Chains A and B, each alone.
Chain A
Amino acid sequence: QSVLTQPPSVSGAPGQRVTISCSGSSSNIGAAYDVHWYQQLPGTAPKLLIYDNSNRPSGVPDRFSGSKSGTSASLAITGLQAEDEADYYCQSYDSSLSGVVFGGGTKLTVL
Chain B
Amino acid sequence: QVQLQESGPGLVKPSETLSLTCTVSGGSISSDYWSWIRQPPGKGLEWIGYIYYSGSTNYNPSLKSRVTISVDTSKKQFSLRLSSVTAADTAVYYCARLAPVTTNFDYWGQGTLVTVSS
Contact = CB atoms under 8 A, between A and B. Distances in A.
Physical interaction between A and B: yes
Contact of A102 (B45, B49, B50, B106): B45
Contacts, number: 64
Interface residues of B, number: 22
A45 B104 contact: no
B104 A99 contact: no
Determine the interface band of chain A, counting residues with CB < 8 A from chain B: 20 to 34
A89 B104 contact: no
A51 B61 contact: no
Given A45-B108, A45-B110, A45-B111, A99 B58 contact: yes
Contacts of A111: none
A57 B2 CA distance: 15
Given A47-B108, A99-B60, A105 B47 contact: no
Interface of B: 35, 44-47, 49-50, 58-61, 94, 99, 102-106, 108-111
Interface of A: 2, 33-34, 36, 38, 44-48, 51-52, 57, 89, 91-93, 97-105
7 contacts: A36-B104, A51-B104, A89-B44, A93-B103, A99-B47, A102-B47, A105-B45
